[in-house]
A and B are shown apart, each in its own frame.
Chain A
Amino acid sequence: MTKQIVKRTVDMQIIGDWVEPGTRVLDLGCGSGVLLDYLMQTKQVSGIGVDLEFAKITACVRRGLAAYQGDMTSFMRSFPDKHFGRVICSRTVHELADPTAVIDEALRVGRFVTVGFVNHGFWKNRVNALLQGRKIKNEVYTTEWFESRPANPVSVADFEHFCTAKGIRIARRAHLAGDWHTPCHTLPNLFAGYALYDLAR
């Protein structure tokens, strides 16, 4: 397995541990449906993914997943309160134009909202910014600034501040070290490479 696949799998396993079996799961920015497929097979959830690209919907359908092409906020507006057991926003939050609106809406339609993101405050990123003075490019941030989508990098401290400011309860959190595998218990904003939060209202 390549480093990237290992990283992806770790992310999936933690979310899998948090998901209650048999619940209704909504995956925002589902891509080709790898995570949903895993959750359906291991947790027997009934899942639906939302993505903007036609080809991603095709990939999900090929896996036997249900998927919806369109805007995630307007999708969620079509559902009653707490329709989903869990809404997952895995490695999507940094690409959202209006993260508050999306997470608010996710907390309305879901009992729990799982957010996973790469910690931009990770020490290597800080060192890199200090020494290079350029956009980070490595196995996580793979693109040059001129070929990437607009991103809104977020750190552990940023996210915790967001939750406090918005009165969102953090039901669970998991911080992983730079290998995205070892649990990280000290100074996560500095030493965590990846962070997962389980939110509720």
Chain B
Amino acid sequence: MTDDVEVLPSTESARRHLAPGDVGLVAPRDFVSSHPFTFKSGQVIPGFTLRYETYGQLNATRDNAIVICHALSGDHHCAGWHTPDDRKPGWWNNLIGPGKAVDTRRYFVVCANVLGGCQGSTGPSSINPETGRPYGILFPFVTIRDMARAQKLLLEHLGIAKVHAIIGGSMGGMLALLSTIEFPGFIRRVLAMATTGRESAQAIAFNEVGRQAIMQDPAWNRGDYPKEAGPRVGLAIARMMAHITYVTDASMDRKFGRRKKDGAHADAYTFDVQFEVEGYLRHQGQSFINRFDANSYLYITRALDQFDLAHADGSLEKAFAPVDAETLIVGFTSDWLFPPEQNRSLALALLRAGKRASYAELSTDLGHDSFLLESEELYALVRAFLERDEPYEFDYAI
């Protein structure tokens, strides 16, 4: 996901968290599980923490929860503001809030930072209780399934009896789909956007270049580095490159074209930043290293590469056999990282397996990041999927 959000003028900024339709000021919380957690790899950690946020209220029947799953570089802060002075709101603030497509007046929205992450959940930058130092690459290998199982423990802890819907884009879509496979009977609807049942060679290749940039940085030191240092150059380069895969030629051309930075001479031969697009990518890299851990980046991209729904069962249809949730897959025409065909094939496999599944495809030229798009069409679809005539009544009393 990209990091750009319009910064509002200062007069507005002091009160923008009070805007109608906004969840307002929110605070993250920690779920601490003190039971040993066994990863798919067989490795065990004595316990773990997931940092999460919730918006709205759980109803009396405890079945109005909507679980939001974030992408590779995302986190638990998907709506609202942490302080009135925040530069930007949560990453899916346009979708989630009172009266919005994911309506927090109706639903209890939960979003957690994934296991293996670095925004407060247990991951390679957490302290290994056995050594008193960060795990580094001694942290167990994380899979999407491990993330789903850890998240399920949080949802149970929150007292959720049934999940109304689980929603995610990109890696979040994988996590949402896998959760419905792993926990039949627990989730009513799944909405996965800009996602895939398995990454193509090209997507794995991009991840590998990112990992190499990190691991070839001497500061990586086989994953053993202090919190404030580490392979900042490598991580920034990984981010710069990954960022290009989230957008498109057309959207970059519209945003930057060949425009030069102020003061850059048209015919100057220098390797300093000349074009606006260079400045922008450097900014993306720099802001990323201040919020993301390089080892987490290695672990999570590896989890993405290894995700393969069809592999374990031999086919997607067999993998989807346990699904009893209603599924909606949304692809985006210009997404070349997880292209429409890969999204479509998920819906088709679900249908072949006799499941209730829909597929919609939005025309956009913004690439993979399109799922974050401010689009009334997309909002209408999400709302239709979540709110259509229910066989049961919602409880507004609580």
Contact = CB atoms under 8 A, between A and B. Distances in A.
A68 B361 CA distance: 9
Contact of B377 (A55, A67, A70): A55
Interface stretch (A15-23, A78-86, A113-121, A184-192): A78-86
A49 to B, nearest CB: 9
Interface stretch (A57-65, A98-106, A126-134): A57-65
A40 B358 CA distance: 16
Contacts of B381: 54, 57-58, 61
B372 interface: no
Interface string B340-352: 0000100110011
Nearest to B361: A69
Contact of B344 (A62, A63, A67, A70): A70
Interface of B: prevailing SS? mixed
A196 interface: no
Nearest to A83: B352
Contacts of B380: 55, 58
A27 to B, nearest CB: 13
A105 to B, nearest CB: 15
A73 interface: no
A199 interface: no
A78 B347 CA distance: 11
B26 interface: no
Contacts, number: 62
A119 B363 CA distance: 35
A46 interface: yes
B12 interface: no
Contacts of A48: 351
B351 A64 contact: no
B193 to A, nearest CB: 13
A67 B358 contact: yes
Given A54-B362, A58-B380, A64 B389 contact: yes
A182 B360 CA distance: 39
A70 B351 CA distance: 14
Q: How large is the interface on B (under 10, 10 to 19, 20 to 34, 35 or more residues)?
A: 20 to 34
Nearest to B380: A58
Contacts of A65: 358
A66 interface: yes
B164 to A, nearest CB: 14
Given A54-B362, A54-B377, A61-B384, A66 B356 contact: yes
Contacts of B356: 46, 66
A61 B352 contact: no
Q: How large is the interface on A (under 10, 10 to 19, 20 to 34, 35 or more residues)?
A: 20 to 34
Given A55-B377, A79-B352, A62 B384 contact: yes
B377 A69 contact: no
B71 to A, nearest CB: 23
Contacts of A62: 384, 388
Given A48-B351, A78-B352, A61 B361 contact: no
A61 B362 contact: no
B358 A60 contact: yes
B235 interface: no
B385 interface: yes
A33 to B, nearest CB: 11
B213 interface: no
A55 to B, nearest CB: 7
A65 B359 CA distance: 11
A64 B188 CA distance: 13
Nearest to B328: A61
Nearest to B357: A66
B10 to A, nearest CB: 38
Interface string A28-60: 000000000000000000101000001101111
Contacts of A79: 348, 351-352
B328 A70 contact: no
A25 B269 CA distance: 66
Given A61-B358, A68-B358, A69-B361, A78 B348 contact: yes
Interface of B: 326, 328, 344, 347-348, 351-352, 356-363, 377, 380-381, 384-385, 388-389
Interface of A: 46, 48, 54-55, 57-70, 75, 78-80, 83
Instruction: Give the 5 A-B residue pairs with the shortest CB-CB distance, closest first.
Output: A62-B384, A57-B360, A78-B348, A58-B381, A61-B384
Given A65-B358, A75-B348, A83-B352, 19 more contacts: A54-B362, A54-B363, A57-B381, A58-B381, A58-B384, A59-B384, A61-B384, A62-B384, A62-B388, A63-B388, A64-B389, A66-B357, A67-B359, A68-B348, A68-B359, A69-B360, A78-B348, A78-B351, A79-B348
